[in-house]
Amino acid sequence: MIINLENRWGFHYHANMKTYDSKRPTLFPLHIRTAYADVLSRLQDVQASHSMASLNSCSLIVKRVGGAEYVYAQGRMADGATRQVYLAPHDDAGEALVDRFRQARADAAAEKSAIDMTAKALRAAGMMRLDAVEWRVVNALAEDGIFRVGGVLVGTIAYRCIVNYLGVRLPSASAVTADVDIAGKTIPVAIIPEVVCPQTALDRLEMGFSPMMEADPALFGSRFKARQGEFKVEFLTPLTGRNPAAGKRFEIRQLNVPAVPLRFLDYLIEDAVPAVALGRRPVLANVPQPARYAVHKLIVAKERGRGFALKAQKDLEQSFDLQAALETIDPESLSEAFEAARKKGPGWRRRIDAGQAAMRRRFGKPAGA
C-alpha cells in the first residue's frame, strides 16, 4: 500500500528539516534530502502508472499464423510462466501500435536512467545502501509485486531505509544482517484482488532458496534459506487472539504464503510509508513509520530472552537514535506513536516504560527529549 507522504503527514521531511549543531543527529545537506524526495516521488509515479512494470515484463511480437501476421503481447505471469495475448492484425494500425509501444518503452527507459543517476548521487553522498545479496532479494520481491500488494519490509534492512527516509546519519544504521523480513496481513479481495508469488521470485534468483524445516508444520513455507551461507527470507504476520489454537496456520492471502505470527506486529506495520531501498538500482518498498519503529523496538527489546542480549541492545540503540532524530525532525509523530501504543493497554505501557528505562540506562536521554 503506497501512501503519499505529503497527504499523510502534511509536509515532506526533506523539505522541512534544518541543520542543527553537532550534538544533534547529523542531517544530510538539503540538496541530498531533496534528491531523495525526488527519487521517492518518481518511483511512486512509476509504480502508480504501472508503466515500468508492464514494459519491463512485456514485449510485443509479430507472429505468422495461417499465412497472415498478427501482433501479440508476450510477458511473464506471477507464476513464472510466459504467456502470449493477441492484440491486433499486423496491418497499418497494428504497426502503429508497435511503434507507440516502442516509444513508450524508450520514454520509460529514459525515466529509469534519470532515477538511477539521482540514486547514484545519494549513494555517493553516504546514504545507507543494501549489500549485493540484500539488494538482489529485495529487488526480486519488489518486481514480483510484494510491496504493491501491502508487504512491509521490517528488521535491520528496513531500519537503513528509514534512516535514509529521514535524511539523517545514525551510527546504529551500520548494523549488518543476513535476512530479509517481510511483514503483512491479509487484505480483502475487494481491495487488492491481485495475488503474487514470492517463492517464484526467489526461484528466479537461482540462489537455491528452499523452505526451512519447521518444528510446527503450520509454519512450513514461511521461511526460506539460500543454499549457501545463512541468508534467509522470512514472512511475518500479526498474531491475533491471546491463545491461538495449536497448529493454526496463519497466511497472508495476497502474498500466497504462510507467515510466522508475532505479537505487537500489527502496531508496527499500521500505516506503513513508502521509502527507497538503495542498491544497484533504487527500489520502492514499504517500511514502518519511523516513530512506530522506535516505539516497537522498546517493546521487543524487553520481550527477548537472556540469550538474545546483543539483539536487545541493538533494539535499544536503534530506538535511541531514532528518538533523537525525531525529537529534532518531527517530535509530534513521536508523541503520537507513544500515545497510540500506550492506549493499547497496561501490558503495552509496562513494556514501553521498561524499554525506555533500559534504553536510558544504556545510552542516556535522547537529545531534545
User: 69 is in which domain, residue-wise?
Assistant: 21-127
Residues 67, 112 within the same domain: yes
For 313-323, b/e burial (b = at least 16 CB within 10 A) is bbbbbbbbbbb
Gap between the Cα atoms of 261 and 89, Å rounded: 52
The reported pTM is 0.81
Instruction: Give residue for cell 513464472.
Output: 80
Instruction: Confirm whether 10 is domain-assigned.
Output: no
Total length of the chain: 369
Tens of pLDDT along the chain (369 residues)? 333 433 434 344 444 443 333 345 789 999 999 999 999 998 887 776 654 445 456 778 888 887 888 888 787 665 566 777 777 788 887 888 888 887 777 777 788 889 999 999 999 999 999 999 999 999 999 998 899 889 999 999 999 999 999 999 998 888 778 899 999 999 888 778 888 999 999 999 999 999 999 888 889 999 999 998 889 999 999 997 776 666 788 999 999 999 999 999 999 999 999 999 999 999 999 999 999 999 999 999 988 887 788 889 999 999 999 999 999 999 999 999 999 999 999 999 999 999 999 999 998 888 766
**What is the number of domains present in the chain?**
3
Question: In this structure, is residue 9 part of a structural domain?
Answer: no
Is 266 found in the same domain as 135?
A: yes
Same domain for 271 and 156: yes
Name every residue whose Cβ is closer than 8 Å to that of residue 190 and which is 6 or more positions away in sequence.
Answer: none
Percentage helix, strand, coil, to 5, in the chain?
A: 50, 20, 35
107 and 162: one domain? no
Q: pLDDT value at position 2?
A: 38
| Whether residue 33 sits in one domain with residue 118 | yes
